[in-house]
Structure 1
Amino acid sequence: MPDIGDAAKRLLLGRPVRSDRLAHTLLSKRIALPIFASDALSSVAYAPDEILLTLAIAGVAATTVSPWVGLAVAFVMGTVIVSYRQLVHAYPSGGGNFEVATVNLGAKAGTTVASALLVDYVLTVAVSISSGAQYAASAIPAVRGHEVPLAVGLVILLTLANLRGVRESGNAFAAPVYLYMLAIGVTAIIGFVRYAMGSLPMAASSALTVVPSPGFDQGLAGVAGTFLVLRAFASGSSALTGVEAIANGVPAFRKPKAQNAATTLALLGIISASFVISILVLARATGLRYVEDPARQLLKNGVPVGDTYVQHPVIGQLTETIFRGFPGATGATVAVSIVTGIILVLAANTAFNGFPVLGSILARDGYLPRQLHTRGDRLAFSNGILALAAAAIALIVVFDAQVTRLIQLYIVGVFVSFTLSQLGMVRHWTRRLRTPADEQEHRQMRRSRITNAAGFLLTATVLLVVLVTKFVHGAWIAILAMAVVFILMQSIHRHYNSVREELALGDDAEAARALPSRVHAIVLVSHLHRPTMRAIAYARASRPQVLEAVTVGVDPDDVAALQSEWESLNLPVSLKVLDSPFREITRPILTYVRSIRRESPRDLVVVYIPEYVVGHWWEQLLHNQSALRLKGRLLFTPGVVVASVPWQLASSEGQTGLEDHVRGTVPRGL
């Protein structure tokens, strides 16, 4: 059965990749652009829709300001792009907003940024996939009513593609993203040429009348109108999502990493801003109508169009209008709709690259379970990919794959991270200005600080607008989710810190020198701490004929540090390092143990495994995972005894389950 499972895994994901092949997975700008920019580029498919939909609340006249709202969004995007280009040069390690906030503003600010980004990555997948499912439903009538299962299936397909590795998913997704850019670019160019020549047709929906919502009979006049424009701007700011993924993904670029990431950022900003403004200008020129409830808000000859009216997305209406009268116009419209639907699905790939990398960094620093830090056998952060997929599927099911409901939760997190990271960069340059440097370098630092200060003020203003205009429409759910993730990460961090302090070496190094040896034994070592010392002492007490400590070499730096510490303590046990080119723990140990059995079939091999004893079920999820897998395999190996050497953590006190029994059976008075 394991062979069948392994074969199925290889069929879906491919063969394992050696650790020394990591450099071959790095991305060129040509591949990095579709991988990291697909989220921001895909927002072109729904950010203009949300702007027009919001402004339509005040009637058709209000939609005439949509290009100006788009211009404001583009201005914010440009400022953020310039600021992030400086960020990737200053912090190219891949920590992005989390690292900037942690280093310059403190650990809690960093955790706030991380919680905001994690929630926003999940929402990115849910919104993008749901939007793609809706595009499919508008193009294929048979899909209507089945958007949720379609969206869930698409998430599963993306998960499998990303589990195969970053480079493989990038190669697969590059062509559709470039086709999408070509389709939108050609559509916009033809639209502007026809507009300049006076031959641009009016949209089919231009003949319809938009009914203003109660309280907006006077259009955008007054405080309510201003509030509505700000709300439209907040919805349109979803076009900025995905920018932070490049800052988090700098290590995935080829050298020079920071320069290539900065260039990709610039390309992303120029293309995305141009597309958003072009669509809004052409929508105004063609008189396009787009509302939240077309059956009641749109009138034809003074009568509501009713539930039979099908409202297509803005890009669908634009392509039908712009290509009208051309040979093959229907085919061109369908082609643009298809590539748009595909890019909306692939936009989730940005989150599938950003979330696992950020999760790995947080796990490394002790804010998330450490299982998220390790790469899978395809050099992808498999556990992070699976966690993201599960959370996104849950959101899609709960919100019924409706973009209008999900979009209200969107972009709060990304602007929280934007704002704190820009403030962190201001602190960064202020600190750097205190260090000795020539005048030219100081001038550059001062210019950079001004840029980041402008970015902070602008993103903080947008964040305030988003919170005020979207809070009651669902943004409070995103804020609540961020708070829950923040508290969870802080709790995990405190737990890991307390365990580290509890396991730290004191005077226990002498415990390894206690007794002579008589039996053949292998002590498994991952770190040099108290549980390791206890396991060595127990192994020596059994007097093995051969005694050696064994560790698996997954990370060269960790192995070198362990060997150095081992030699400095002068322990009377040799340390053997098993090579693991595919970063596996279980297989190298099994192979080594079985080789001993083959050489000496009459020998008894005793494998000592240090194991934590915890008091709460949730702590078990954070510890002993590798030990459980290894014990399960070793128990089926003939001639091998597995000895678990327990180390009771503080939380296990009073958790034996015998206390109440003893109190109930011992006579009173004894």
Structure 2
Amino acid sequence: MARLRSVGVGDVSKRILLGRKLRSSQLGETLLPKRIALPVFASDALSSVAYAPDEIFIMLAVAGATAYAWSWKIGLAVALVMLTVVTSYRQTVHAYPSGGGDYEVATVNLGRTAGITVASALLVDYVLTVAVSISSASQYAAGAVPALVGHEAVAACAAVVVLTALNLRGVRESGTFFAVPTYLFMVSILGMCAYGLVQLLSGDLPEAESAGLQIQPQEGWDGPLTQVALFFLLARAFSSGCAALTGVEAISNGVPAFRRPKSRNAATTLLLLGMIAISMMMSVIVLANQMHIRYVDPHELERLKTAAGAALPAGYEQNPVISQIASGVFDHFPPGFYFVVTVTGVILVLAANTAFNGFPVLGSILAQDGLAPRSLGSRGDRLAYSNGIVFLAAMSMLLIWIFDAETTKLIQLYIVGVFVSFNLSQLGMIKHWTRHLKSERDPATRRRMMRSRAINTFGLGMTAIVLVIVLLTKFLAGAWITILAMIFFFLIMQGIARHYDRVELELAADEQDKVMPTRVHAIVLASKLHKPTLRALAFAKATRPNALEAIYVSTDDAATTRLLEEWDERRIDVPLKVLHSPYREVTRPIVQYAQEIRKANPRGVVAVYIPEYVVGRWWEQLLHNQTALRLKGRLLFAPGVMVISVPYQLRSSRIALEREEAAEGRVHAGDLRRGRVTDRSRDDL
């Protein structure tokens, strides 16, 4: 095998973090089977079991513990909405399997404006998914590790960085990593609830640690509730509980990541997600009620009183609902309690992975449609949409830092965006089926389409009611921030679309583009008479311009004199023009001279040849080519002026090239087994 040289530190670090590069032809190897797709795309919706019941109890606690009697009914209402949304999205993944999800449905059926609205809502929701999940996990971690108290935002940002690195390795690899914890979470919650329900049926279910406490209602809610007040209370609790629906839409955006048959596998995963999430949420709510849990807003712990009505001791720590259930159910089996709490904290971190899989795919589709920067549509070394992953990480960390990783504040911003996309998606699907029914004549197919349209119509009604309730109950609590963010993304995407449209029109070829310039005036920049300058002169001569001259900017009389003398001694057959610069500027005199030549011959072209050093180390770039970079930046804005870089490779550049070629040709562990080593390479071994 050919002799190998040392590989750059940056290349080694990148390979360690991200793994080996994958060819485009290996894209099929990264597709997910259902057993991996379920934890990848469902971890967000499943993890909501860790905080959605908490939010329901917090909202009902406003009126005191007696309002908890409504918790299971609110849970059923949330479950009904989730089942409806899951059923509706099963229609979507069959009709639109390309991965556009709600955005594609709205764009195709309702127009571009509706599509941009859905896209802006989903972008905000994905960012909030990461921020809420990671912030909630950091709160769990701070409760277990006292050293993290007060540093939750730092811990949350560190977790986002780790998730980003894992996702940059590719969907398949990150999915395999996340599968085990997600399945452990399912087993722990369902196992805990099953054991608790068995205890309930046998009459052995213990009470929760907070069962003996009283909840003091908030001011204004301490008397008998009117029908209006009761409705508003239940509406607030219902809207908070609907946080359990976030993440359901991610599967419709991630259909391309499934193995074939993509649509059927995605629909099956959706059904599994809905049934598991509903079972877990309802079991938690039922057990919390039967164990008489008392749970209030963490910022209002003073409302919790002892059975005698006295204040709780200072430093009282209120554990989350799942933690209290696990503590009671496994009161004689501590390992069970620690297992449930640990995997719950882990799943809250991994829940953000749903957004890390959905956001980049959506970003790539928006980039293809000219609504987002084209860079979001580029796949990285591991065939993941790396730029979208990094952008999502940056936005979520900014949000975590601004809100100091406080879940209670962030949760108020949640679910507005996702229900906006739900509504427009359902409306788009209704129009989709209506349009196809006009041309379909097969009775069986028409019945199936009518059934699908009825499902989407019912889904639209349910999600519209939820959206109205969410806006009414959460607008002043922080939902207005989400709406402003959606408007911001909407305007940004429209601005990007207008820019790309203008550029496309401006770049459209016409007959004038065939007109040849009447004259080419070439100028070669000379700072010294050395090899780079001579190479630039030779290259300029080879292009046979109408006029050719070298330009030197004089800032020192002695240096100018030496250059002129050397020019004459070497008998260079290209005239050297000296531009005097009394203020020691180099860039401005050259730009002005090129513009004057252009003005003298408007139909001609000025070709500026700039010798540049090619170096192999990053720090060498800081020592060379700075004047050339500034000059190119100025000349690019001059009409009729062409800038040509003439590279001269220094020794360090050749070493870097050889090092890169050696790294590309290196035989990696497992290559022989996979058949990636040629016969020649095998002989060299």
Structure 2 residue corresponding to 1:445, chosen from 446, 449, 452? 449
Structure number with bigger Rg: 2
Aligned runs of 1:35-54 on 2, under 5 Å?
35-54=40-59
**1:201 corresponds to:** 206
Structure 2 counterparts to residues 223-234 of structure 1, below 5 A: 223-234=228-239
- 1:310 to 2:311 alignment: no
Q: Distance in 1 between matches of 2:22 and 2:365?
A: 21
Match of 1:322 among 329, 342, 345: 329
**1:173 counterpart = 2:178:** yes
Asked if 2 retains the 8 angstrom alpha-carbon contact of 1:61 and 1:219, the reply is no
Partner of 1:410: 414
**3-state DSSP of counterpart to 1:303:** coil
**1:498 corresponds to which residue?**
502
Between the aligned partners of 1:50 and 1:337, the Cα distance in structure 2 is 18
Provide the rounded CA distance (Å) in 2 between the counterparts of 1:452 and 1:87. 9
One-letter identity of the residue aligned with 2:409: R
Task: Give 1:450-599 correspondences, 5 Å limit.
Answer: 450-508=454-512, 510=514, 542=543
* 1-structure distance, mates of 2:495, 2:95: 30
Q: Which runs of no fewer than 5 residues in structure 1 stay unpaired?
A: 517-537, 545-589, 591-608, 616-627, 641-670
Distance in 2 of aligned mates of 1:456 and 1:62: 29
Q: Give the Cα–Cα distance (whole angstroms) in 2 for the partners of residues 500 and 108 of structure 1.
A: 20
* 1: CA distance, partners of 2:229 / 2:646: 67
- The percentage of aligned residue pairs carrying the same residue is 56
Give the equivalent residue in structure 1 for 2:107. Answer: 102
Partner of residue 250 from structure 2, selected from 245, 249, 258: 245
**Residue aligning to 2:305:** 299
Change (3 A) 1:506 1:54: same
Deviations 1:573-605 (A, max 9, x none): xxxxxxxxxxxxxxxxx9xxxxxxxxxxxxxxx
Against the structure 1 CA distance between its residues 248 and 458, is the aligned structure 2 distance closer, same or farther, given a 3 Å change threshold?
A: same
Contact 1:412 1:467 (8 Å CA) reproduced? yes
AA aligned to 2:487 is A
* TM-score under structure 2 length normalisation: 0.75
Q: Distance in 1 between matches of 2:41 and 2:441?
A: 35
Q: Please list every run of 5 or more consecutive structure 2 residues that lacks an aligned counterpart in the other structure.
A: 1-5, 521-538, 546-613, 615-631, 654-685
- Asked whether the equivalents of residues 295 and 307 of structure 1 are also in contact (C-alpha less than 8 Å), the reply is no
- Deviation track 1:485-517 (CA, whole Å, cap 9, x = no partner) reads 00000000000000001001122564589999x
Distance in 1 (CA, whole Å) between partners of 2:129 and 2:409 is 13
Pairing 1:57–2:62 present? yes
Task: Give per-residue Cα distances to partners, 1:518-563, cap 9 Å, x unaligned.
Answer: xxxxxxxxxxxxxxxxxxxx9999369xxxxxxxxxxxxxxxxxxx
Equivalent-residue separation in structure 2 for 1:46 and 1:614 (angstroms): 55
- C-alpha separation in 2, matches of 1:185 and 1:393: 32
1:83-108, Cα deviation, whole Å (9 max, x unpaired):
00000000000000000000000001
In the comparison of the two structures, how many residue pairs are matched? 538
Q: Which one of 396, 403, 421 corresponds to residue 392 of structure 1?
A: 396
Q: Which amino acid aligns with 2:303?
A: Q
Alignment equivalent of 2:379, drawn from 369, 375, 386: 375
- Please identify, of 347-356 and 303-312, the stretch whose mean Cα deviation from structure 2 is larger: 303-312
- Aligned partner letter, 1:163: L
Alpha-carbon distance in structure 2 between the residues aligned to 1:52 and 1:164: 39
Q: Aligned-pair RMSD on alpha carbons? A: 2.6
Which residue number in structure 1 is paired with residue 663 of structure 2? none
Gap change, CA 1:137 and 1:542, over 3 Å in 2: same
Q: Which residue in the other structure is 1:163 paired with?
A: 168
1:633: Cα distance to partner?
11
Does 2:157 correspond to 1:152?
yes
How many Å separate the matches in 2 of 1:502 and 1:169? Answer: 43
**Matched residue, 1:264:** 269
Q: Is the 8 A contact 1:415 1:463 kept in 2?
A: yes
Q: Relative to 1, partners in 2 of residues 1:245 and 1:636: Cα closer, same or farther, differing over 3 Å?
A: farther
- Contact 1:294-1:305 within 8 A present in 2 as well: no
The alignment partner of 2:305 has SS state of strand
In structure 2, the residue corresponding to 1:291 is in which secondary structure? coil
Q: 2:289 aligned to 261, 281, 284, which one?
A: 284
The TM-score with structure 1 as length reference comes to 0.77
Change in CA separation of 1:254 and 1:219 when aligned onto 2, cut-off 3 Å:
farther
CA distance in 2, matches of 1:26, 1:512: 51
Q: Equivalents in 2 of 1:245, 1:84: separation in Å?
A: 10
Question: Given residue 88 of structure 1, which amino acid in structure 2 is its aligned partner?
Answer: V
Tell me the amino acid that sits aligned with residue 297 of structure 1: R
Alpha-carbon offset, residue 636 of structure 1: 4.5
Amino acid across the alignment from 1:228: L
For residues 114-149 of structure 1, the C-alpha deviation after alignment (integer angstroms, 9 at most, x for no partner) is 000000000000000000011111222222222111
After TM superposition, list the pairs within 5 Å mapping 1:608-623 onto structure 2: none
Q: Distance in 2 between matches of 1:611 and 1:424?
A: 49
